[in-house]
Amino acid sequence: MAEQIMKGKTLFISGGTRGIGKAIVYEFASKGCDVAFTYASSADAAIEIVADIESKFGVKSRAYKLNILEPDTYKDVYKLFDEDFDKLDYFISNAIISGRAVVGGFAPFMRLKPKGLSNIYTATVEAFVVGAQEAVKRMEKVGGGSIISMSSTGNLVYTPNYAGHGTNKAAVETMVRYAAAELGEKNIRVNAVSGGPIDTDALKAFPNYEVVKAEVVRRSPLSRMGDATDLTGACTFLCSDAASWLTGQTIVIDGGTSFQ
Ligand SMILES: NC(=O)c1ccc[n+]([C@@H]2O[C@H](COP(=O)([O-])OP(=O)(O)OC[C@H]3O[C@@H](n4cnc5c(N)ncnc54)[C@H](OP(=O)(O)O)[C@@H]3O)[C@@H](O)[C@H]2O)c1
């Protein structure tokens, strides 16, 4: 078992049931961190993960239902969190919408529609803001904390159909810098972790998934696509004392694909 260097700490992360979020849940729990996470539709998976990490790592874990298309409901979820946990050290805004909610947002430029675009803005930027504001209220009580927004290199590199997500990832990275500038006085650091294409359900939903995958493997000097676990190290680092002077930044983890 990994060294329990996060024992006594608590993480709250949105979207912990699949892909990158699930990998982060396991990584923090393996280091002894208590983990609260949210799900949207995967209630059964959430229950299984809670039981699994509690028995494997001896941490406390709870899962709550959240719809990031209704960011204000974060406040109700945090009330439930308060009944289960007495402190919060780390918050990661990770959940992302897909499927019907992104129709008109995940499309070539000439097929973009305001409704789809604004859904992605709500789920990416507004959900980060409300989730982080509520986190700050709790982190203040323990003298500080670390907040992370997951981002993607689709705001740096042209990715077919990704205009809606890419522009909103650029927006959330800017929001991260504004939050960092104002929350430093509370000893709260705010950063983004931006991944290149990672092999998760979100990417498999791309209509041209096989083409994207082949292109990523070709472009990466490391000759492979990202794995869900490839972003976890940056998250634990940003939550550690080793990153105590690191705020307002985006750490890019892209297998070298952005420069090719
Ligand atoms: N995949 C990539 O290539 C890639 C690259 C870089 C960065 N990222 C970023 O990393 C993050 C996670 O991506 P992923 O690929 O791991 O996604 P994913 O596999 O599609 O998982 C999405 C997560 O968000 C939850 N979710 C879905 N709809 C929701 C809603 N309406 N309200 C609240 N939660 C909802 C899901 O919960 P349920 O299981 O309950 O539906 C799930 O836990 C995102 O911010 C994404 O932009 C992804």
pLDDT in tens, 165-201: 999 999 999 999 999 999 999 999 999 999 999 999 8
Note if the pTM is more than 0.85.
yes
Output the CA 46–ligand 1 centroid distance in Å: 14
Output the CA 260–ligand 1 centroid distance in Å: 26
With the most atoms of ligand 1 within 8 angstroms of its CB, the residue from 18, 77, 119, 122 to mutate is 18
18 lines ligand 1 (CB under 6 A): yes
pLDDT in tens, 87-98: 999 999 999 999
What values do phi and psi take at 225, rounded to 5? Answer: -80, 160
Residue 237 lies in a domain: yes
Residue 259 lies in a domain: no
Whose CA is closest to 14, among 89, 97, 85? 97
Residues taking part in catalysis: 162, 169
Residue 106 lies in a domain: yes
Residue 25 lies in a domain: yes
Residue 244 lies in a domain: yes
d(CA 232, CA 249): 16
At residue 5, the pLDDT reads 95
At residue 208, the pLDDT reads 85
Q: Give the domain CATH number at 65.
A: 3.40.50.720
| Full residue range of the structural domain in which residue 26 is found | 10-253
Which atom of ligand 1 is closest in space to residue 202's alpha carbon?
Answer: 20
Residue 159 lies in a domain: yes
How many domains is the chain built from?
A: 1
Residue 4 lies in a domain: no
Residue 108 lies in a domain: yes
Q: Which residues of the chain have pLDDT under 70?
A: 1
41 lines ligand 1 (CB under 6 A): yes
What values do phi and psi take at 230, rounded to 5? Answer: -70, -20
Q: Please state, in angstroms and as integers, the Cα–Cα distance from residue 75 to each residue in 78, 159, 255, following that order.
A: 5, 34, 36
DSSP states of 136-192 as a string?
HHHHGGGT-EEEEEEEEGGGTS--TT-HHHHHHHHHHHHHHHHHHHHHGGGTEEEEE
